[in-house]
Amino acid sequence: MTTHYSEKKDLLPLTGGCACGLIRYQLTQPPILVHCCYCTACQRQTGSAFALNAIIESTALVQLPSASPSVAGNPAAPEPVCAGLMPAFANATDSVSTTHEQPDPDSKPAPAPVCIPTQSGLGQTVAHCPSCHVGLWNFYADGGPHVSYIRVGTLDRPWEIEPDVHIYTRSRMAFLAVNDGKPQFEEYYPSRDALVQGDALERLQALKPVVRNWWVDLKAALSSQ
């Protein structure tokens, strides 16, 4: 059996952030589950062929001070590479520069949450950088603000996180061939508990009463509208 993230203690710390460095974060726990979603909604939101989301308790998501802009490295050269932009190019494209000349080491600007429409009608909240607008994590109806879906591509070492499961494969683009031996479902997986391993299962069970209480409050709010 493949070693689950919850057992890879050397995986931490997991840090990440937006393109301009204004929003930086750290995960204090390994992901509970990582899924690769090929639904057309995720394709639209990411502008890519899929979304890779690492599910974690929101209490394990800690914001860090802002930093200078950088581009993530790669497995051969893992250190982030300092990045920048030319103001003349920003002006030529009628855009606003997001370069931070001197990041405040104590500054922790809040991400901007935006709720977007979903097919369910409830909505989905995306937390993005208010400056460069990169989406960092999502909140879905299954956990609300208590469960964060980290966009793996915003991690500093995204290559260390692989999917545990592939979902909505009915929308997967034809040029993508996935043969990693992980479970695949044409729609959403029927049971999250069956996919979670190690002590991550205990963490998932601990989340359930918190999410249940949140749902009670949400239903009460919905019924009063």
Determine if the pTM surpasses 0.85: yes
Question: Token digits for 98?
Answer: 């997001």
* CA–CA separation, 200 and 30 (whole Å): 8
Domain 5-223 bears CATH identifier 2.30.30.60: no
Q: If residue 178 lies in a helix (H) or strand (E), which one and from where to where?
A: none
Nearest to 80 by CA among 25, 17, 137, 28: 17
Tens digits of residue pLDDT in 163-187: 999 999 999 999 999 999 999 999 9
- Please report where in the chains the tokens 């683009």 appear, as a residue: 173
Smallest CA-to-CA distance from 189 within 165, 173, 211, 162 is with: 165
Q: 62-71, 77-86, 198-207: which range is least confident on average?
A: 77-86
User: Any idea which residue has 């992980």 for tokens?
Assistant: 182
Instruction: Specify the pairing of strand 165-167 against strand 33-37.
Output: parallel
Torsion of the alpha carbons at 63, 8, 19 and 165, rounded to the nearest 10: -110
Quick check: 1 pLDDT over 60?
Answer: no
Give residue 2's pLDDT.
53
Radius of gyration (C-alpha) of the chain in whole angstroms: 18
Helices assigned H by DSSP within the chain = 40-46, 87-92, 200-223
Residue ranges covered by each domain of the chain: 5-223
Counts for the chain of helices (H) and strands (E), in that order: 3, 12
